[in-house]
Amino acid sequence: MNITRIFKIYIKEIKEIIRTSGLIFILVIVPMIIYPFMLYYTEQTALKEKNKIDSASLSIFIKEPKLLPNLSEYIPSDEKIKILKNGNYEKIDKDCNLIISLEKQPDLFQSGYSNINATLIYDSTDKYSLKALNKFEEILLDVKKEITYERFDEKNIPSDIMTPISINTKNIASVKKITGNLLGNIIPFLLITFIMSGAMQIAVDITAGEKDRKTIQTLLISPAMRSDIIISKLLVVITVSLFCGFMNLLSMYITVCFMKNSKQILNGMNIDIQSILLGILVAIPLIIFLSSILTAIGVASKNQVEAGLYTMPLFFLDFLPLIALSSVEIANISNSNFFIPVYNTALAIKLILISSFTWQHILITVFSNLLYSAFFIFLCIKLFSNEDVIFSGIGDTVGIFFRKLFIKR
Amino acid sequence: MNNIENNIVISLENVSKVFYDLKKGAFTALSDISFSCKKGEIVGLVGPNGAGKTTLLRIISSLISPTSGTVKVNGLDNSNHGEKNKKDIGFLSSDTAIYERLTGKELLLFFADLYGMKKDLALERIDELSQILDFKKIENRVCKNLSTGEKQKISIARALINDPNILILDEATNGLDILARKHILWLVKSAKEKGKTVLYSAHAMDEIEKLSDRIIFLYHGKLISNGSTDDLKNKFQCDDLTQCFLKNIEQYEKNNDEYNKNL
Alpha-carbon span A271 to A113, nearest angstrom: 59
Distance from CA of A380 to the nearest CA of B (A): 18
Nearest one of B87, B95, B75 to B13, comparing CA atoms: B75
Q: Give the pLDDT of residue A272.
A: 73
Contact A400 B21 (CB under 8 A): yes
Q: Give the pLDDT of residue A268.
A: 59
CA distances from B109 to A230, A357, B120, B155, B161 (A): 20, 50, 10, 13, 9
Nearest one of B48, B40, B42 to B228, comparing CA atoms: B42
Nearest one of A177, A172, A175, A111 to A147, comparing CA atoms: A111
Residue B184 CA from chain centroid, whole number: 12
Residue range A92-135, pLDDT digits in tens: 888 899 999 999 888 777 777 888 899 999 999 988 999 999 99
> What is the DSSP track for A371-403?
HHHHHHHHHHHHHHH-HHHHHH-HHHHHHHHHH
Residue A164 identity: P
Residue B48 identity: P
Q: Quick check: helix, strand or coil at residue A168? A: coil
Summary mean pLDDT of chain A? 84
- Residue B3 confidence class, pLDDT cut points 50, 70, 90: low
Mean pLDDT of A140-151: 89
Alpha-carbon span B179 to B149, nearest angstrom: 7
Distance from CA of A391 to the nearest CA of B (A): 10
- Which residues on neighbouring strands pair with residue B10, listed in sequence order? B37, B73
Report whether B244 contacts B251 (CB < 8 A): no
- Which residues on neighbouring strands pair with residue A83, listed in sequence order? A60
- Residue A294 confidence class, pLDDT cut points 50, 70, 90: very high
Residue A294 identity: L
For the stretch B27-49, what's the b/e string if a residue is b when 16 or more beta carbons lie within 10 angstroms of its beta carbon? eebbbebeebbbbbbbbbbbbee
Q: How close are the terminal C-alpha atoms of chain B, in Å? A: 42
Mean pLDDT of A148-165: 84
Interface list for A 112-131 with B (CB within 8 A):
none
Report whether A270 contacts A176 (CB < 8 A): yes
- The answer to whether residue A3 neighbours chain B at the CB level (below 8 Å) is no
Under DSSP, the state recorded for B24 is T
Q: Give the pLDDT of residue A409.
A: 47
Residue range B125-157, pLDDT digits in tens: 999 888 888 888 888 999 988 888 888 889 888
Residue A15 has pLDDT above 50, yes or no: yes
Nearest one of A315, A297, A313, A289 to A206, comparing CA atoms: A297
Q: Which residues of A touch B89 (CB under 8 A)?
A: 221
What sign does the CA torsion over B122, B126, B128, B132 have?
positive
Report whether B170 contacts B148 (CB < 8 A): no
Tell the burial category of A164 from Cβ atoms under 10 Å away from its Cβ (0-12, 13-18, 19+).
Answer: exposed
Residue range B153-174, pLDDT digits in tens: 898 889 889 889 999 988 877 6
Mean pLDDT of A27-32: 78
Q: Quick check: helix, strand or coil at residue A228? A: helix
Under DSSP, the state recorded for B157 is H
Of A218, A220, A404, the CB nearest to B98: A218
Alpha-carbon span B116 to B111, nearest angstrom: 9
Under DSSP, the state recorded for B103 is B
Alpha-carbon span A304 to A290, nearest angstrom: 18
Summary mean pLDDT of chain B? 85
Report whether B147 contacts B100 (CB < 8 A): no
- The answer to whether residue A14 neighbours chain B at the CB level (below 8 Å) is no
Q: Give the pLDDT of residue A178.
A: 76
Alpha-carbon span A196 to A351, nearest angstrom: 23
Nearest one of B73, B184, B60, B163 to B112, comparing CA atoms: B163
Report whether A196 contacts A287 (CB < 8 A): no
* CATH code given to domain A57-162: 3.40.190
Task: Give the residue, A356 or B158, on which the prediction is more confident.
Answer: B158
Nearest one of B45, B63, B28, B31 to B171, comparing CA atoms: B45
Please give the model's pTM, rounded to 2 decimal places: 0.80
Nearest CA in chain A to B97: A215
Residue A357 has pLDDT above 70, yes or no: yes
Residue range B177-228, pLDDT digits in tens: 677 677 777 778 888 888 899 998 888 788 888 888 899 999 988 998 888 8
CA R_g for chain B: 19
Q: Give the pLDDT of residue A404.
A: 64
Phi-psi region of A126 (alpha: psi -120 to 50; beta: other; left: phi over 0): beta
- The answer to whether residue A176 neighbours chain B at the CB level (below 8 Å) is no
Spell out the domain ranges in chain A: 3-39+173-406, 57-162
**Domains of chain B: residue spans and CATH:** 1-88+166-229 (3.40.50.300), 99-163 (no CATH)
CA R_g for chain A: 32
Q: Which residues of B touch A220 (CB under 8 A)?
A: 63
Q: Which residues of B touch A221 (CB under 8 A)?
A: 61-63, 86, 89, 91, 96
Percentage of chain A with pLDDT > 90? Answer: 21
- The answer to whether residue A213 neighbours chain B at the CB level (below 8 Å) is yes
Residue A292 has pLDDT above 80, yes or no: yes
B113, B161, B167, best to mutate vs chain A, most A CBs in 10 Å? B113
Mean pLDDT of B62-76: 91
Task: Give the residue, A230 or A73, on which the prediction is more confident.
Answer: A230
Mean pLDDT of A382-397: 79
**C-alpha dihedral, A254 to A259 to A263 to A269, nearest 10°:** -40
